[in-house]
Amino acid sequence: SHRAWVPASRCPSLQAPVLPCSPLPVLLLPRKEKKDNMKPKHPEEQEIPFRLRELMRSRQALKCPDPGRRRAAEKQQQQQSKGPEAPGAVAVPRFRRGRGESERSYVCRMQQEVQRALFHAENQLQRQPESRAAAPERSQRKKEFQKRKLEKARRKKEEKKEAMLEKSLFQDTVPFGEVVTQPPTITSRPRGRGPAEQAGRKQLLLTPRLGRSQASPVSPVSPA
């Protein structure tokens, strides 16, 4: 027998009952009050400022440090004290007994690691002959640099000494209570010049023309 498919919209008995729609209750949350510039709840009690609380907390942390932070700081300090490893240096082995490892096997493993590290340290120069050859050249360059630096410092010191000596020559020490009645007399003349000429004795450019005009006869003035 063949059954035909009938949609539920055509068969009222198969439809679900529709419940009346009820409005959802609206929840009104109270508005958050701002704490800025608010009146204190207890005027007689004064709250500790934020900066002072932070200072007190930091002092308390210094007195009773966290064990985890202390271990991290100690580990970092140990790494800084060791310093950076040189390139090509042999790493120092670190030993830790494995789980289930017997004491005999642990000691044998440590001895093998130590022997291997010693062998690598002894044969390091043989594996890198260029590092041994570059050492004298580097020391020679360092010596030359130090020599140039000392020479430059010595030259600078001599120049400073000469400048101070020249400055002291141009300074006149005046004793206490001395009275000056006239300006100082300059006894030296500038370099590259002849003897100093007195005022009014210098040959002017107009002097020859003035002498010629004085020697020329004066034209007679006709009477009016």
How confident is the model over 145-164, as pLDDT tens digits? 999 999 999 999 999 999 98
Nearest to 82 by CA among 168, 74, 65: 74
Task: With beta carbons less than 8 A apart as the criterion, state whether 131 and 88 touch.
Answer: yes
How many C-beta atoms lie closer than 10 Å to residue 131's C-beta?
13
Question: Which amino acid is present at 85?
Answer: E
Question: Are 116 and 90 a contacting pair, CB within 8 Å?
Answer: no
CB 95 within 8 A of CB 110: yes
Site of tokens 């310093």: 83
**Are the CB atoms for 88 and 124 separated by under 8 Å?**
yes
Query: What percentage of the chain carries pLDDT values higher than 70?
Result: 56
Give the domain ranges of the chain: 140-170
Tokens at 96, concatenated? 């830790």
Task: Tell me: pLDDT of 68 over 60.
Answer: yes
Mean pLDDT score across all residues of the chain: 72
What's the token pair of residue 13?
A: 């008995």
In 3-state terms the chain splits into helix, strand, coil percentages (rounded to 5) of 50, 0, 50
pLDDT in tens, 170-197: 877 778 888 888 887 877 777 766 665 6
Whether pLDDT at 99 is above 60: yes
Report the predicted TM-score, pTM, of the whole model to 2 decimal places: 0.23
